[in-house]
Amino acid sequence: MSNSSPIAPHHAEGAKADIVLMVEALSKCFPGKKTPEIQALDNVSFTVSRNQVTGLVGADGAGKTTLIRIAAGLLVPTSGSVTVLGLDSATDTLEIQSRVGYMPQKFGLYQDLTVAENMTLYADLQGVPSKERTDKFRRLLQMTDLGAYTGRRAGALSGGMKQKLGLACALIKSPEILLLDEPTVGVDPVSRRELWKIVNELVEKDGIGVLVSTAYLDEAEKCDQVVVLHEGKVLAEGTPKEFMRPMAGQVLLIDASPGKKARNIYTRLSGMDDIVDVTIRSGRVRTVLAENADKNALAESLGAATIHQANPTFEDAFMALIPRSAQHHQPSPSTFLHPGHDQEEIVRTHELQKMFGTFEAVKKLSFSVKRGEIFGLLGPNGAGKSTTFRMLCGLLPASAGEISVAGHDLRRARAKARARLGYMAQQFSLYGQLTTRENLSFFGKAYGLSGKLLKTRMEWAFDEFSLARWANRPAGGLPGGNKQRLAMAVALLHEPDILFLDEPTSGVDPFARREFWLRINTFAEQGTTVVVTTHFMEEAEYCDRMLIMSQGDTLAFGTPAEIRELAKTSGNPQPTMDDAFIALAEGKVNMAQSAPAPPYREDTLP
Amino acid sequence: MKGKALFLMRLRGILVKETLQILRDPSSIALAIVMPMILLFLFGYGVTLDADHIPTALVDDDGSAVAKELTARFDLSPNFELLPTRTMVEAEELIKNREAHAIIRLQSDFTARLLSGREASVQLIVNGIDANRARLIQGYARAALANWSSMRLARGETAGLPAVIVSQRVWFNESTESRDFMVPGLITLIMTLIGILLTALVVAREWERGTMEAMLVTPLRRIEILIGKILPYYILGMLGMGMSVVVAILVFQVPFRGSVAALILFSSLFMLASLGFGLLLSAAIRIQFVAAQVSIVAGFLPAFFLSGLIFDLESTPLPIQVISHIVPARYFVDISHTLFMAGDIWSILVPDGLVLAGMAVFFISLAYRNITKRLEK
């Protein structure tokens, strides 16, 4: 498979009867008022068959949501058509809507209504006869494990439960086709796994057709058929195997020689030309080579490191497929260095505790972060990681315990500590109406920069984060990952010793995430300490050490390798971070040295 | 028959959902019940256009029995609260410190001039910052003086004041209770606000929370969305209105001279016009904050200024008068004034009611045309 020619459609000619959804030469333009019109979809064609899960894969802005919305009759094509169950989505909308199940990104649940009331509402709207309901509800509740929560309001459910309820509502009429728009965004790994189990069961038992869009590339691997969208066009189509086959031999795992950090190899490889992708997985550097790369030259340049062949995944194929020019630029090594020896403890907490009324959000947490370390704070929503994070940044006072940052006691010298840390909030917290330049200038001044120094640092930011072309654009209107870049530039303007990043990669596509981690690595190598929260378990691999929290308590603490080791069983000799997290969360394993941590249960989340 | 059953099932679904949401979401109850009460008390007590117990400095340089009799007239009046001062300087100080709004001064030769049949003048100095209050004070003072001189004349004594004494009623109704006039008008204002805000906000909220998208992908028909969004909020709005009327009658002692049936009929028409207008706004606005702002600018302010509630429309410039005809509140202010203060005067109620009915039909049908089952407009 080459990068330019799409794989031929997979479905057989005779299988026409099995086609439940057919996209033909579909284009969609959104006219812009001031900006030029946006071509969201450009001549897209593919089909979805019964008995199959078809995955729609692509980065943010690839056109996935637009396509699903057209299929659901929410948008009208500019040209071309979507035929659902033999009906045209633009003209027979109502008929289609009574036969498909659709789950939008925000699940479409009424927060004030209980689980049962939400289901009854959608049963009414879909015209499910009363006598069929008891049976149907029982089946759906059993399938989604929500039977015990029928009286609970949707707003009080955890993210994973909301998602399952959203699915139950979409399935209320036993649809012949199910449309899911990024159903697993912002949901923890346990819930993601459960959702896929339900979807696969539906396909097997009821033989429905499923079209699911996702930006998680590991999920694409679970689909029967995958369509890769890029900038509104179909790049390739086929089974995950067809995608992965040509990648054989192109994927290498590199073990750093003893005493060396995998991270150093990782940053070095990222700069090379014939490398398609580099990540850190299970403590090793995983790299995907371009088709004609010179493997020997590579081996030579790595010196003492050990190189193994690895099985390609869909993600590798995907990265190889997307044109390089579309990928984000590689960050250049930055100029500032923070001297100081590596063993210095730059963040330290001792028996840190936070009470909200009588609720103990953080329970006697003790840990330390060394200079130049990337330290991860992980855990499900409600685990207390945001609270801990805010206390570390001095945004929230601790109820008890000690906490020092860069040598300053946060209880006494908060302002001094703050001057030495940079903070990037989870939500976009810049001024949307101000331009990129104005934002940089404002925040620079807020951190006490002025005159020549401010000018130099702003120039550095424009250059380092390639923001120059957006200098005069309002920050609120920056495309995709550029908002994140600007937010990070702002946090780094005053050359902080410590960088606090709160869920920096949530809602960011795979490319932006890779670029982001590469940058963080570069900074860490230069001596900046990075404390980061994330719910992407695979990203935990980039951390030197991490703390996994659950219900305010320490669930596990250590290096990625140590944590993975916990989940090692005879059946799974090489567990991934996801496996480890699930095992920890389900209480199957716990840190030997610490007291057994309470198992993570969704229903007890605050 | 099958179609009708499905129609009723879907309608039931959306009506039950809206009702449960109203009952559980404190914000819609607050909007429909609490806010009207607050507005009513705030405006009812705060914006009466009468002035009582106006602190007034008194400089009596004369000090005779005649002068005392005159100042007693002011003292007895509920409008004035006299603050005796010895010198003019002292009185001016009170004005400057905002401790008094006016000065009444009797010069030392007041009694002498009065008894000798010459013109004896009483000086009234009013703080003109609040023009409305200044005019009230002038009126009240003239009334008190007139009272005094007519008493003297009746006793056959010289009054010494200009012969023409204006015996006026200041601005308002017999008891000078502007409240009787204000409160029924306020009910109009309140209904405008809740009618428009309720529909505009709830639809915007559905967009924000992403529930609208899920709703649009069900076989729900546009007419069902329309009924589902209007009927529950009509009932809620009418409850709010009913409570306002009860409070007006019981707390503010406003007379109600019309019939309840007429009130329900005409307020329903007005409520539907407001709800329709709100729904029309919601078709274009998908953010709650903007919906609230637009509702206030496009709904509340015209109702406030152009309905004849605060400003007498007949004394406004012609263009304003013309524009005021497209404001629904104008007609309902007229109706509620009539129903509260006069009674079922059909010659006023019917034409106003017809206009409101026309507006309700206009806004609701326009809103219906703008309800779309697509995400694009």
Residue of chain B with shortest Cα separation from A90: B374
Are B333 and B241 found together in one domain?
yes
Integer Cα distance of A115 and A169 in angstroms: 10
Residue A342, helix vs strand vs coil: coil
Q: What is the pLDDT of residue A484?
A: 83
B170, part of any domain: no
Main-chain dihedrals φ then ψ at residue A527, nearest 5 degrees: 105, 0
The verdict on residue B167 lying in a domain is: no
Asked if residue A181 and residue A44 are part of one domain, the reply reads yes
Report the gap between the CA of A429 and the closest CA in chain B (Å): 19
* Residue B163 domain flag: no
Which token pair is B64? 């005779």
Q: How confident is the model at residue B178 (pLDDT cuts 50, 70, 90)?
A: low
Q: Does B219 sit within 8 Å of A127, measured CB to CB? A: yes
Find the residue in B nearest to A116 (Cα).
Answer: B17
Are B213 and A127 a contacting pair at CB < 8 A?
A: no
Residues B223 and B92 in one domain: no
Nearest residue of A to residue B6 by CA position? Answer: A127
Structure tokens at A320: 């190889």
- The reply to whether B67 falls in a domain is yes
| Residue B131 belongs to a domain | yes
Q: Has residue A329 been placed in a domain?
A: no
A125/B211 CB distance under 8 A: no
Interface contact flag, A127 B6, Cβ < 8 Å: yes
- Whether A5 shows a pLDDT value over 60: the answer reads no
- The reply to whether A137 and A172 lie within a common domain is yes
- What are B284-327's pLDDT values in tens digits? 888 888 888 898 888 888 888 888 777 777 777 888 888 888 88
Is there a single domain that holds both residue A213 and residue A258? no
User: Which of these three, B106, B123, B155, is where a domain ends?
Assistant: B155
**Facing residue for A122 by CB, picked from B6, B218, B221:** B218
User: Within a domain: residue A90?
Assistant: yes
Provide mean pLDDT across the span A324-345: 54
Q: Is B21 on the interface with A (CB under 8 A)?
A: yes
Q: How many helices (H) and strands (E) does chain B have?
A: 16, 4
Q: Please tell me whether residues A518 and A382 are part of one structural domain.
A: yes
Chain A contacts of B210, Cβ < 8 Å?
104-108
Confidence of residue A124 (pLDDT cuts 50, 70, 90): very high
Q: Which of A212, A242, A272 is the last residue of a domain?
A: A242
Count of A–B CB contacts within 8 Å?
A: 92
Q: What is the pLDDT of residue B160?
A: 53
pLDDT at B47: 63
One DSSP character per residue, A520-573 reads: HHHHHHTT-EEEEEES-GGGGGG-SEEEEEETTEEEEEE-HHHHHHHT--SS-S
**For residue B90, what is the domain's CATH number?**
3.40.1710.10
- Tell me whether residues A113 and B17 touch, CB distance under 8 A: yes
Q: Do A121 and B10 touch (CB under 8 A)?
A: no
Q: What is the pLDDT of residue A562?
A: 86
Same domain? B16 vs B86: no
Where does the pLDDT of residue B49 fall: very low under 50, low under 70, confident under 90, or very high at 90 and above?
low
What does each C-alpha distance from B177 to B52, B190, B252, B290 come to in angstroms? 11, 21, 11, 38
Amino acid at A418: R
Q: Do B213 and A111 touch (CB under 8 A)?
A: no
Most A CBs within 10 A among B21, B213, B372, B373, hence the mutation to make, goes to: B213
Residues B331 and B184 in one domain: yes
Whether residue A110 and residue B21 make contact (CB cut-off 8 A), yes or no, is yes
Q: Which residues contact A288 (CB under 8 A, 6 or more apart)?
A: A247, A250, A251, A275, A276, A277, A278, A312, A316, A319, A320
Residues 296-335 of B with CB under 8 A from A: none
Based on its alpha-carbon atoms, the radius of gyration of chain B, rounded to whole angstroms, reads 28
* Residue of A67, A121, A167, A169 best to disrupt the B interface, most CBs of B under 10 A: A121
Chain A residues closer than 8 Å to B6 by CB: 127
- A513 and A547 share one domain: yes
**Is B330 found in the same domain as B243?**
yes
Q: Does B218 touch chain A (CB under 8 A)?
A: yes
**What is the Cα–Cα distance from A29 to A25, expressed in whole angstroms?**
13
Query: Is A7 contained in some domain?
Result: no
Cβ–Cβ under 8 Å, residues A392 and A347:
yes
B20 touches chain A (CB under 8 A): yes
pLDDT-based confidence at residue B377 (cuts at 50, 70, 90):
low
Which structure tokens are listed for B145? 């003086």
Measured between CA atoms, how close is A407 to chain B, in angstroms?
44
On the 0-12 / 13-18 / 19+ scale of CB atoms within 10 A, A176 is: middle
Co-location of B207 and B300 in the same domain: yes
For residues A442 and A576, state if they share a domain.
yes
One domain, residues B256 and B356:
yes
Residue A238 and residue A257 share a domain: no
> What per-residue confidence (pLDDT) applies to B285?
83
Domain that includes residue A569, residue range: 345-586
- pLDDT of B368 reads 92
Nearest-CB residue to A104 (from B9, B14, B213): B213
Output the domain CATH number for residue A151: 3.40.50.300
> Is A593 a domain residue?
no
Residue B158 pLDDT: 64
Q: Is B160 left (phi over 0), alpha (psi -120 to 50) or beta?
A: left
Quote the minimal CA–CA distance from B5 to chain A in Å: 9
What does the block give as tokens for A110? 């009424």
Instruction: Please check whether residue B115 lies inside any domain of the structure.
Output: yes
Residue B328 maps to a domain = yes
Note whether B27 and B105 are same-domain residues: no
Show which of B105, B120, B155 is a domain's final residue.
B155
ipTM of the complex: 0.71
Same domain, B262 and B284: yes
* Domain match, B244 and B331 both: yes
Task: Pick the last residue of a domain from B155, B187, B209.
Answer: B155
Task: Give the model's pLDDT for residue B152.
Answer: 79
The C-alpha of A185 sits at a distance from chain B's nearest C-alpha, in angstroms, of 15
Nearest alpha-carbon partner for B187 in B335, B320, B302: B335
The answer to whether residue A579 scores a pLDDT higher than 60 is: yes
Residue A330 lies in a domain: no
The overall average pLDDT reported for chain B is: 83
- Which pLDDT band, with edges at 50, 70 and 90, does B48 fall under? low
Q: Could you give the angle at the alpha carbon of A424 between the alpha carbons of A280 and A485, nearest 5°?
A: 65
Q: In which band, very low, low, confident or very high, does the pLDDT at A117 lie, cut at 50, 70 and 90? A: very high
User: Is residue A442 in a domain?
Assistant: yes
Judgement on whether residues A257 and A353 belong to the same structural domain of the protein = no
Q: Which residues of A touch B220 (CB under 8 A)?
A: 125
pLDDT 10s digits, B234-249: 998 899 889 999 998 9
**Which of B211, B225, B227, B289 would best serve as a mutation to test chain A binding (most A beta carbons within 10 A)?**
B211
* Six-digit token string for A17: 């009867």
Helix (H, G, I), strand (E, B) or coil at B252: coil
| pLDDT band of A332, cuts 50, 70, 90 | low
Domain shared by A105 and A164, yes or no: yes
Span of A73-77, A286-290, A340-344, B296-300 with lowest mean pLDDT: A340-344
* Least reliable range by pLDDT among A258-267, A455-464, A574-583, B324-333: A258-267
Same-domain check for residues B17 and B123? no
Q: Do A125 and B220 touch (CB under 8 A)?
A: yes
Q: Are residues A259 and A164 part of one domain?
A: no
pLDDT at B74 over 90: no
Chain B residues near residue A152 by CB distance under 8 angstroms: none
DSSP letters for B267-310: HHHHHHHHHHHHHHHHHH---HHHHHHHHIIIIIHHHHHSSSSS
Note every long-range contact of B73-79, with CB atoms under 8 Å and residues 24 or more positions apart, other chains counting: B73/B144, B73/B145, B73/B147, B73/B148, B74/B104, B74/B141, B74/B144, B77/B140, B77/B143, B77/B144, B78/B52, B78/B53, B79/B51, B79/B52, B79/B53, B79/B54, B79/B137, B79/B140, B79/B144
* Domain count of the fold of chain B: 2
- Largest Cα span, chain B: 100
The answer, yes or no, to whether residue A285 has pLDDT greater than 60, is: yes
Q: Are residues B118 and B211 in the same domain?
A: no
Asked if A285 and A357 sit in the same domain, the reply is no
> Which of the pair, A473 or A589, is modelled with greater confidence?
A473
With cut-offs at 50, 70 and 90, classify the pLDDT of residue A561.
confident
pLDDT-based confidence at A184, cuts 50/70/90? confident
pLDDT at A394 over 90: no
Residue at A110 is within a domain: yes
Answer whether residue B161 is part of any domain: no
Would the pLDDT of B331 be above 90?
yes
Domain count, chain A: 3
User: Which range marks the domain in which residue B105 is found?
Assistant: 54-155
pLDDT-based confidence at residue A441 (cuts at 50, 70, 90): very high
Smallest CA–CA distance, residue A108 to chain B, in Å, is: 4
Residue A8 resides in a domain: no
